[in-house]
Every structure is written in structure tokens, then in C-alpha cells.
A and B are shown apart, each in its own frame.
Chain A
Amino acid sequence: MALSSALSGSWHPLRLTGTPMPPNLLLLCKILAAAILATGHFRILPDPFLPFIPGLDALVAPQVFKTTLQSVAVLSAVALLCNRTVRASALVLGSCLLVGVVSSKAYYGNNKTFVGLSLVLIGLSDFDTKPYLFRWQFSLVYFGAALNKLLDPDWQSGLFFDYWATAKVKNAVYLNLAPWLPELVLGKIMCWGTITAEFAVSLALFVPRLVPLALGLNVLFQVGLLEFTGNTFTLFFYAMNAATLAFVVWPERLRIEYDPGRGGILRTVLRLFDPDGLQHWLPSAETRYLTLLHGGRAYLGIAAVRRLLFYSPVFWLGATVLLAQMPSPFGRRVLVAAALALALVPFGLAGLVRRHKPEAPTLFS
């Protein structure tokens, strides 16, 4: 009973409001915390082994170091999910991963470093303005990755991708397509496509009108990697997609007009995805099923459902946990493909969006 009442209030792990941190950043942090817990990543936080910072392996007994790091990581992740001291919790959880990274060359990895830095930089950010520190970090990841590939002869020749796709991933599409083209041509296309995409995202993030394009490219790139390999690259897939949220303007209120007859069931279901009470449902005789009015536009039917899910922590955190629990590459591919299909339904072509008010939509900032 006590737990139930606590979870229905400010402790509710699916709620994003009522803390000093903006909802979009809090959701980003919660996705990372949920991924760390749901994948069991906290269990591999290490004891010191060949640390980058000399002396870290001589501080305390290795088992004490490891148990402390793992315990603090779990406690701070739970605190973050339950909206407790969110800035401090993000800083502590991120620091746990960074301490793990610098204390062990066996644990070191780009995905862990990015997750650690993301949480720390969000924890250090001002909450009354855009999270510049995190945005610069996101751009820097793509810039570093693109530069290293650009200067690597095996990336320039296409050899890296050809060997990776044929000998390692054994991707059926690549294996069937490559023989139709001259040697290494497909590998070259994929290598130079990757380099171009990574540089494009890195630079476009600094040009306001190109930000939506950069974010779309980021999501497509990460989804493409998962579909190609069936792998989330430990925490990388979660973190790179969640990074999109740092650019989203989170709504304070979503006005939905619905047909009480035909849209009633949809209303009941969609309200389950709204623990913060953003949705304001108004019965209307003029609408068919439902119409979402947001950002100067009216979204009809599936377009409205899609946008309501986009602003739902239940959807994001549920998808995170579900993906983390998928035991096979096939399951991960199907889940992510389904989410992408939902995102790419060509509602615009079907006339499901119309301009509601003259002002421009403010979905990203």
C-alpha cells in the first residue's frame, strides 16, 4: 500500500515532471539508467585492472572497489528513475561508468564512455537553457569517429566494411549484393557513406535548421547498424538514440479533440501512456477518432497516436526494457524495425496532417 502510494506520486518512475531537470533531459537520463539496469550492465562494472589513472588499483581491495562501484551505480540509477535528487543521481551514475572506464583497460569501451559522459554532462548542465555541453559531446563523438575512419586506409579502400560484413557479420544482403559489383565497390560505398553520414551529423548539429535532419540521420544510422548486425553494441544503441531527446522541446500540454463514440477506446489506451497528465482530451463532434493540436499543426489518426507516443515516457522506457530483454538478434531486429515503421508511416502523403495555426512548429530547439 505504502509502495503503491509512493509510486503514484513524485516517486513514479514513469513520471518526468516535478523535478528541476527538464522532462526531455530527465527522460534521456532515465533511458540510460533503465538500460544499465535492464541489460545487467551494472554487473560488469569492474575491479581495477591496468588503470588509466595510476594508483587506482592500489586504493582498496579489488572486490571492495567493484562491489562499491556496482552498488552505487544501482542506487543512483534507481534514484534517477524515481526522480530523487536527479542532478546528483545523474552525476553519480555517470561517474560510476567513467570510474569503471578509467580504472580498467579490460572494461574500457566507447559505449560506456559515452554513457558516462552523457550523464555527467547533463548533470553539469544548466536546466534553464539548452544543454550545450551534452550537445557538443554528441557532435564530438561523430566527429572523432568520422575523422578516424577518413584517415584509415582500410576505410578509404572499403576493405574494412567488406571484411566485417562478409567474415564477421556474414550479412546475407551484403553477401548477395557484393558479387554483382566489382571487387570492394560495395565496401567502398558503405565506408564512404558512413564517413559522410558521421561528418554530416557532427556538423549539422550546429546549424539550427539542419538539426532535425542531423537527428533523423543519427536515428537511421543507429537503426541501420542494429538491423545490419542485430547488436546494440552494449549500451551504444540506447545512448545514441536517446541523445535525440536533448534537442526536443517537451510540451507542457497536448490538446486532443476526439470523437466520444469512435475515439473513446483510443483515449482510454493512450491515457495509460501519459503518467504526467500532459494530454487534455476534449470531446468533439467534428473530429473523426482523434485530432492532436500541437506546435501549430493538427495531427489526425495514426499521426496523432505516433506523436502522443513520442511524448510518452512509458513508450520510451518500455521500449528500452523490452529491447534489453530481447534474447536474440532476430527479436531485436523485429522490435526496432517495428518502431521505425511506426515512425515512418507516410502520414503526410495520406493528408493526415494539416496546418492548424500559422506559426511554425517547435518540435526541436
Chain B
Amino acid sequence: MKTLRWTIGLALLLFQIGAILYARFVPARYFCWAPFDMQTDYRIQATVNGSKLSDPAIQKRYRRAAKGSDNRSFQHVIDIIEQTERRYHSDDDVDVVVTYRINGKQEQQWHFHQP
């Protein structure tokens, strides 16, 4: 039982060390202890099947406020929008524009279109 406990514990720690190394090669920062390392102000605008989504509809669809701040890697917001559409609304005709600014720097835009 002791061996099993230690094996599980060490596996959890090794997974995190792997995540810390992996984070050096990708923009996302999952399970690698990077809290509050980035401040991103963003605004999500989405059109689904020709209709523009209201702010509450955006909140409901992506479980994120339509306008707000994020304190982790901005890739996490992009992942949520992209994966929500692909996993839960793959039949919808979707256009998403996210306007964002990282740490107060120049404004940028990210676009997503499906199909």
C-alpha cells in the first residue's frame, strides 16, 4: 500500500514537471504553475448562424464574460472558444472575433470561423 501511495504521489509530481517543461514550447500554461503572469483585457464578439450573440448568450455559450480580463495565458481563452465550437456546436456556422490587449500593449484581434 505504501508503494502504491508513493507511486501515485510521485506520478502527480512528475506530471507537473513535464507540464512545466512542455509549457516552454507552447503558448498555453496548463498545470505548470503560472498564475497571474499575464493580464489580458478582451472583448468577444460572436455571430452564430447569421445572428449576433448578446453578451449573456456569449457568457452562456463559452462560460466566460463577453468583456473582461483574464489573468492567465490568453491561449486559455482561445482554447475555450475554439474547443466549445468544435466539441459542442460543430454544426453551427460561427464567426468569432476576439479583440484583446496583453499587459496594456497594442490591441490585437483573433478570428475564428466554422465551418
Per-residue interface assignment for chain B, residues 15 to 59, with 1 indicating a CB less than 8 Å from any chain A CB and 0 otherwise: 011001001100001111111111100000000000000000000
SS class of chain A's interface: helix, strand, loop or mixed? helix
Report the tally of A-B residue pairs with Cβ distances under 8 A: 99
Does any Cβ of B come within 8 Å of A133's Cβ?
yes
Which residues from chain B contact A206 at a C-beta distance below 8 Å? none
A110 B33 Cβ-Cβ under 8 A: yes
Instruction: Assess the B87–A50 pair: CB atoms within 8 A.
Output: yes
A315 located at the interface, meaning its Cβ lies under 8 Å from any Cβ of chain B in the complex: no
Which of A120, A137, A151, A236 contacts B35 (CB under 8 A)?
Answer: A236
Known: A133-B9, A155-B37. A126 touches B17 (CB 8 A): no
Bound complex: CA of A272 vs CA of B35, how far in Å? 39
Mask, A146-167, CB within 8 Å of B = 1, is: 0111011011000110011001
Contacts of A164 in B (CB 8 A): 36, 39, 103
Q: CB-CB < 8 A to A52: which residues of B?
A: 30
Q: Is the CB of B87 within 8 A of A110?
A: no
CB of A124 closer than 8 Å to a CB of B? yes
User: CB-CB < 8 A to B76: which residues of A?
Assistant: 105, 108
Interface residues on A, range: 35 or more
Is residue A361 within 8 Å, beta carbon to beta carbon, of the partner chain? Answer: no
Give CA–CA (A109, B104) in the complex, Å. Answer: 23
Tell me which of B10, B36, B37, B79 contacts A105 (CB under 8 A). Answer: B79
Q: Does A144 contact B (CB under 8 A)?
A: yes
Name B96-115 residues within 8 Å CB distance of A: 102-105
- Using CB atoms and an 8 Å cutoff, list the residues of chain B in contact with chain A: 2, 5-6, 8-10, 12-13, 16-17, 20, 23-24, 29-39, 63-64, 69, 72, 76, 79-80, 83-84, 87, 102-105
Binding site for B on A (CB under 8 A): 49-50, 52, 105-106, 108-111, 113, 117, 120-121, 124-126, 133, 136-137, 140-145, 147-149, 151-152, 154-155, 159-160, 163-164, 167-168, 233, 236
